[in-house]
Each structure stands twice: as C-alpha cells, then as structure tokens.
A and B are shown apart, each in its own frame.
Chain A
Amino acid sequence: MQNFNTVTVFDLLIQYIKEGRIKLDKTKYADVLATYHDPCNYGRKAQKLFGYGYFEEPRWILSQCTDNWTDLYPHSINQLCCGGGGGTLTTGYNDERILYGGRKMDQIKITGAQMIVVPCHSCHGQLNNIKTEYEMEHLEVKYLWELVADCLIL
C-alpha cells in the first residue's frame, strides 16, 4: 500500500554525513559549550509507542559538529520535559508553561552550556521563549539541523 519511505531528521542527516554528501567543520563552535535536550516525542514517547527512541542518533550528529558538548542530567529516557509539550505553547496557559521550564533551565545552567541544541519545534519555541524569564538571554537555542547547516563546508 505504502509507495514511499519516511525518514526522520536524524536518519537523513546521518545518511548525508556517512555517505560524505555533506562535510562539517568542527572548529566552528569549538569555543562554545553545547548541550542537548531530548524531546519527549523523539525519545521517551517514541520508545514506548514505536519500540525505538532516538537517543544515540542526535548525539552522534552533534559529535560530528563539535567536540565541545556535554549531556544534561538526567537525560535520554529520563529527561525532563522542556515545559512546551502537549500544545502548551498554544493553550494560553503561559504562567504554567513558564514555571515548568524552570527545571530545564536549571539543568542547563548547571552545565554552564552557552548553546542548547534541540531537534523539535515545540522545544525550540519554548526554550527561546522562556530564557529571558530565567536570566539566560545569552543562551543560544539551536535546531540540530541549524547546527549542521552552520557547520557545512561548501
């Protein structure tokens, strides 16, 4: 019935990198300490719904872009929600949403990271939206594919 393949953002980026179709410059962000946020839907929920969570793949991609990164604690299957999930960015319950994000911001602060990399539009929107609330205006919130695009060697 299905006449086409579906790829995740991770599969496609890994394919491009492994086949040598894109080359990445690891020095670009060498001086910026990065960290990674696991979106609920790509990780914990995918693990439960589809039997496979994307935990290793984004970290491998991140490692192709920079050596200067560290994990949050806890992470992967036990990660903390960014607070922007389940449509909370659009329900209008903003006080609650900002409050939930506080724990994520604390996690990031403890690492000292200057850049948080995420592969999810909701997480990206939430983290960018609340960083000023937690006096983290200088935190760079980056899509995983944005980081890859930034590091492209043309």
Chain B
Amino acid sequence: MPDVIEPDAIEITDINHLNHQRFENWSFSQDFCVTCGLCSSTCPVSGIDNFDPRKFVRMISLGLEEQLVESRWPWICTMCAKCEKVCPMGIEIASLIRGVRSLRDREKVPGILHKGLAAAIKTGNNLGLPQDDFVFIIEDVAEEIAEEPGFEGFTAPIDKKGANLLTTIHNKLVNTHTEDLKHWWRIFHAAKEDWTVPSENWEGTNWGLFTGDDKAMKIMVGRIVENMEKLEIKTLLWPE
C-alpha cells in the first residue's frame, strides 16, 4: 500500500502567480521547444544545481521569471552554445540565458562582473587605471622590448594620428600580465606595422556581453569607434 502523503507536505503553487505572457515578446523561439532534451545531453553544466537547458527553456515558456532571475542557473552557464548547435528547433538558448541575466538587479550580479563594467563606464577601463599610469606601463614594457636583440629602437606609439592600425588592450595585460603585451608588439615590429594604442578608452573587454547589459556594451563600443575616428585610423584590431 502506498504511503499516504500528508497535505501539509505538499507545496501549492498559486497558478495566478504565473505569467505565461511574460516572455512572449522574446524572439528566441523558446515556445518551439519539443522537449527532446538534446540540449541537456550536450550541456557541460547539466546536473549542477539541478540545472539543465531544457528545464530553463520550459520555465521561460511558462513565464517563471522570478525563479529564473533569482537563481544561479543563468550565471553558472558558460554560454558555450552547444545546446543551440544541437537544438532541432533552432531555439537561441544562450541568448535566453543572457536575457535572464539582464533582468538581475545590477547590484546582485555575481562576482566582479558588474563592478568591473561600472568602473569601465566611469573611467574607461575595468581597473579604473588612470591615464598617466597606463602610459607609464606601456612605455615601460616598450623599453623592455627595445633591450631585446632585433628590437633595437622599439617604441609603442600612443595616440598616433593617421596610423594604419589601432589595437585595444585587455585590462589584465596592463595589470598582472604585462609580459603578454609583448607578443603582438613583437609581431608589429617584425611586420613593420604602422600601429598605435589609444591612451584613453583602450579597454578591449566588454563585460556587458556577460551581464546582459546592451546599453553599457554600446557605450564601450562607441568609445572605440570614437578613438578610430578621432585618430583617423584605417584598421581596428580587437584581440579580446
């Protein structure tokens, strides 16, 4: 004989709290889901915290906004898009993840993601590194290269107007990984490239991609375009 479940042990979901129309204007094809589960089979995160992409997509369709926005699920996903690759219905699952990320209160975005982005919007880079310090680091690393055989006279041109190529810089390369600045610079030297680095708004990362912040992303991209036009550069290299 089956155990009798005590009524107190059952949690009742008030169906009136569900808003099935909540995501109906999202154009990621989420309502085409046939619940086949291919996405969940290929996902590297399936099983962690009971997450799997199929569940996530179904919850979007059901309009379970609060549960999704408050959960860790959209943040432990790496947005690698294997799920999208195998989805027979062409559902844009990684975009759904990013969409839910965008709904999180900015102060509750995990880790340093939003803090770094906020610093970038305010100062031009994720570190809040002042212009003088940036220029000092660039010149210092350039001097180190100039001491290497074959690189005599090497300099890193800053804000060179009319240069052929401008490169952005990943903030970690002017922070803890300055050695990694040198690879591209050595190649530019060997290729006799006419290149430059901007002294302001050089940040190559754009964490709005991860936090779902389109507005911030546009600001960051706009600043790079501004640098290109102000300095009259022909080619943009954005290695990040």
Contacts and interface: CB of A to CB of B under 8 A. Distances in A.
B27 to A, nearest CB: 14
B111 interface: yes
Contacts of B184: 145, 149
A90 B208 CA distance: 13
B235 A48 contact: no
A20 B116 CA distance: 40
Interface in A62-90: 77-78, 80-81, 83-88, 90
B78 A83 contact: yes
Interface of B: 44-45, 48, 72, 75-82, 84-85, 94, 97, 110-113, 116, 149-151, 165, 170, 172, 180, 182-184, 186-187, 190-193, 205, 207, 209-211, 228-229, 233-240
B237 A148 contact: no
A92 B110 contact: yes
A48 B187 contact: no
A86 B110 contact: no
Contacts, number: 134
B183 A149 contact: yes
B38 to A, nearest CB: 13
B80 A81 contact: yes
A127 interface: no
Contacts of B236: 4-7
Interface in A133-154: 143, 145-146, 148-150, 152, 154
7 contacts: A4-B233, A6-B235, A9-B237, A90-B210, A93-B75, A100-B78, A154-B149
**Most chain A beta-carbon neighbours within 10 Å: one of B84, B94, B183, B233:** B183
Nearest to B211: A87
Contact of A12 (B84, B113, B210, B237): B237
A86 B113 CA distance: 10
A88 B76 contact: yes
Contacts of A80: 44, 82
A9 B78 contact: no
A16 B187 contact: yes
A48 B170 contact: no
A96 B111 contact: no
Contact of B235 (A4, A45, A90, A154): A4
Contacts of B238: 6
A77 B210 contact: no
Contact of B81 (A7, A48, A92): A48
A21 B78 contact: no
Contacts of A103: 44
B210 A45 contact: no
Given A121-B170, A146-B183, 10 more contacts: A21-B191, A22-B190, A44-B81, A80-B44, A87-B210, A93-B72, A93-B110, A148-B187, A150-B183, A154-B151
A81 B239 contact: no
A108 B80 CA distance: 18
A96 B73 CA distance: 11
B44 A81 contact: yes
A13 B147 CA distance: 25
A98 B110 CA distance: 17
B180 A146 contact: yes
Nearest to A93: B76
A86 B85 CA distance: 17
Interface string A1-24: 001111101001100100001100
